[in-house]
Amino acid sequence: MDKIGGDKQIPGEAAQTSLIVKCDVCGQQLNRRHLSSHKRLSHGKNNKSPVSIGDEAKAVETILALYLQLSTKSRNNVVKRLASLS
Q: What is the pLDDT of residues 19-72, one digit of tens each?
A: 999 988 888 899 999 988 988 888 877 656 556 777 788 888 999 999 999 999
Q: Tell how far CA 3 is from the center of its chain.
A: 36
Is the pLDDT reported for residue 5 higher than 70? no
CA distance 58 to 50: 14
pLDDT, position 56:
83
Q: Tell how far CA 22 is from the center of its chain.
A: 13
The H-or-E segment that residue 85 falls in is helix 72-85
Residues 2/8, Cβ–Cβ less than 8 Å: yes
**For range 2-11, the mean pLDDT:** 57
